[in-house]
Every structure is written in C-alpha cells, then in structure tokens.
Amino acid sequence: MIKENYLNKVNSSNKPFIIYKTIKGFDLYTDFSKKIILNNRNIKEFLNKKFKNKKKYKNTDLNIGFFGYELLNNLIGVKLPKQKSLNFPKGIFYKPETKKTLPEVLYFKSNKNNKVTKNFKININQNYYTKIFNKFKKKIRSGETYQIKICTKYKNKSKIDPLDFFCRLTKSNLAPEAFMIKDKNFSIISCSPENLITKNGLSISTKPIAGTLRKTKMINKKKALNFFRNNIKETKEHNMIVDMERNDLSRICKPGTVKLKKEKTVEEYKDLYHYVSLISGKLKKDASNIDIIKAMMPGGSVIGCPKISTLNLLNNQEKESRNIYTGSFGFIKFNGDMKFNIIIRSILNYKNISEISVASGVVIDSNAKHEFNENFIKAKALIDLFK
C-alpha cells in the first residue's frame, strides 16, 4: 500500500490518471505513454493488435479505458440515427507506465474547487416517459422485443474535482466495478456494480444484474431476496437477461462449457438491492479479442432482448447520444486477459456539464410510474454528491 498523500500529489500534478476498484482495494494507473482515441475506423485495428509473447509480463502491459455506446453499436453493425450530442470521444484507451495499489479507503483532501448547482434537469419527464413506455409495450405485445430499457438523463452545469467526488462516492456507495478517469478536459466517476467480462486464459465469466429494489429500514437482504423470488415481473426480467448472456457466451465458448455458477443472489448498495447471477464458460481456442467484444457488448442487461432488434428500437427512439452510458470500461492485457464492466451509475463531466444516465427495464408486466421512479433511485447516490 502507498502513503495517503500520494493521491493528493497525483491529483495536483494535473497528469491524467485512472483509479479502478479491485478485490483488495484500488489500482491507480498513471504516466500514460499512449492515449488512443477510438473511432469507428480504428477500433478493429486496436482490438486485433498482436503483442509479443513474453515469459513474464509487467503489471503495466495493458491498455485501460472505455468503449462508448455508439462505438459498440457500430462494431456489431447497428447504425445510430443522428442524435443530439456533446461530441464526446467514442472511446479512449491509455497505456500506463505506472501502477500503484491504493487502500480500500481513499483519503483525499479536497481543494474545494467544485462549482456545482444542485438543480438537475431531466431530459424526459414522467408524462413523456409514459408515452415511450406505452409505445414499447406495444412492441413487446407484437413480439418485436421481450424487454427494453428506457434511458433518462439528469444534467446540470458544474465544474467538479473528480477525485473529491470519487472518494466521497466510494465511502457512501462502494461498488465492485467502481472507477474514475481524470483527463485534462473531462472526467468520469462511476459506482458501476456490474461486471460484463472477466477473462483469464480460456476462462471467461459475466455477472448480469436484472432486478432493483429500493432500500428501506424495513427491508434487509433476506427480505429483498424473498421479494425478487416472489415478484413475477422481476423474475421474468432476470431470467430473460440470464438466458441472453448465456447465449452471448455460447457464441465464443466451447459447447457444453457455459454454466450458471451462481443463480439469483442479492447484492446490497447505498439506496437499493440488486438481483444478480454469475455465468461462466471456457473460450474456444480461436476466439479473438474482437470476437469476445462483439459477442458480449453492449451488455444485454442494460439494453434488453433480443439484443439487435432491441438496440434498433432504442436507437430510433432516443434523441440524445448515450455517450459513455451502457458502454464498457476496463482493460485488455498484452497477454489477452481482460476485464470490463458496464458503464452505469456514472457521472460524465465534459465542457462543464455533468451528465448522469440511468435506465429501467420494460417487460409485459411493467408499470410506467414504478419504472420511472426506479430510474431516480439508481441516480440518487450520484445526485447526492452535488449537495
């Protein structure tokens, strides 16, 4: 572990850096020798790049960063219509030269240069949300989709110190896939709970989340589990996503190796409980990085199913770019191992605008008011940072 004041020094140096949650604490990456800005033209070259086989790899022999939503759609042949956009990069990866281990609790003395407003504007009010909801319900009844996620955005004007926000977020709502990126002209702060890909050698796993319950003093983890098990809507939604993720893995894994390792458990967070499963498999020997990314991304639990037809329905409905939201953050090691989450529960700060995107699932048994309120529950831990 490193000294507590190290974070202050890195933050005040104005060098870009990345922090990523691990089982033991956090990994900090900095001193980037390369910054690769991805677009629809160079992503395949990036994913297909071969590295020399070594007997021993350094812990910095990797590229770390994110794929945006639009980039992942384009990669699998799904085109987006013209949308309102911040013109934020479609994806960025960095080659670090320094990696440090940080403790479980992050200590940071803020210089208090946050200039924020508490007031967020939502891009879809409840009435308009209900119209979209009813439109998608008709699509479900006609068989065009079985489940679909409606995205809402909360935005305000603010200049933030991302490290201050991230440290406070990890104390109040630490999530297993939390991360932050601080660069010269943008930052991302995330308490993402969802792992999409963990690949070690030929072993691969994914941990879909489908099911959300608001936390109250009257509900503990055991009661939350009983709620999910006895709720037809939540059970249907979860089963559909698990089946889809199993199918996604089966495209790149050896026949018969895809297994449900943990089924329908509950994870606890600051304001909510989640319904979670774990699926694993053994990769085909010829499965490449690009095969894995195309099979698994964008993550089905934040899109709906079936994936391609549902993506087309979503993209034709949404008027604003999702930017990072429902993209993926993580790393690809030079030996081929990788780990990626799904970018949810995140703040993108760019051009002094903070953007929080959330989504809830619509199935045939869904209720519009409940799903609209669920979106706010998911955003609340991030909105509270601005108070």
Residue 111's pLDDT is 60
pLDDT exceeds 90 at position 104: no
Q: Residues with Cβ < 8 Å from 204, sequence gap 6 or more? A: 197, 198, 249, 252, 253, 280, 281, 282, 283, 292
Dig out the tokens for 262 from the structure.
Answer: 């943990």
Residue 235's pLDDT is 87
* Tens of pLDDT, residues 337-356: 999 999 999 999 999 999 99
Is residue 314 within 8 A of residue 149, CB to CB? The reply is yes
pLDDT exceeds 60 at position 306: yes
Q: Residues with Cβ < 8 Å from 41, sequence gap 6 or more? A: none
Residue 110's pLDDT is 64
Question: At 130, which amino acid appears?
Answer: T
Dig out the tokens for 35 from the structure.
Answer: 């910054």
Rounded to whole angstroms, the Cα distance separating 22 from 353 reads 29
pLDDT exceeds 90 at position 263: no
Residue 120's pLDDT is 93
Residue 135's pLDDT is 95
Residue 283: phi, psi to the nearest 5? Answer: -65, 150
Rounded to whole angstroms, the Cα distance separating 377 from 94 reads 33
pLDDT exceeds 70 at position 241: yes
Residue 4's pLDDT is 58
Residue 113's pLDDT is 67
Residue 99 CB-density burial (10 A; 0-12 exposed, 13-18 middle, 19+ buried): middle
pLDDT band for position 51 (50/70/90)?
A: confident
pLDDT exceeds 70 at position 28: yes
pLDDT exceeds 90 at position 45: yes
pLDDT exceeds 80 at position 387: yes
* Tens of pLDDT, residues 58-94: 999 999 999 999 999 999 999 999 999 899 999 999 9
pLDDT exceeds 60 at position 1: no
Q: What is the pTM of this model?
A: 0.94
Helix, coil or strand: residue 328: strand
Dig out the tokens for 214 from the structure.
Answer: 């608001």
Is residue 343 within 8 A of residue 325, CB to CB? The reply is yes
Residue 237's pLDDT is 83
Dig out the tokens for 30 from the structure.
Answer: 């900095």
CA-nearest of 242, 250, 180 to 207 is 242
* Tens of pLDDT, residues 108-137: 766 656 777 778 999 999 999 999 999 999
Q: Residue 271 carries which DSSP code?
A: S
Q: Which percentage of the chain shows pLDDT scores above 70? A: 97
pLDDT exceeds 70 at position 3: no
pLDDT exceeds 90 at position 17: yes
Structural domains of the chain sorted by starting position, each given as residue range(s) with its CATH number in brackets: 6-386 (3.60.120.10)
DSSP per-residue codes, 59-119: TT-EEEEEE-HHHHHHHTTPPPPP-B-----SEEEEEEEEEEEE-SS---------B--S-
> What H or E segment, with its residue span, contains residue 268?
strand 259-268
What value does the mean pLDDT of the chain take?
A: 92
Average pLDDT rounded to a whole number, residues 360-371: 88
Rounded to whole angstroms, the Cα distance separating 90 from 170 reads 26
Residue 369's pLDDT is 93
pLDDT exceeds 70 at position 291: yes
Rounded to whole angstroms, the Cα distance separating 78 from 103 reads 41
Residue 109's pLDDT is 64
Rounded to whole angstroms, the Cα distance separating 33 from 343 reads 25
pLDDT exceeds 60 at position 329: yes
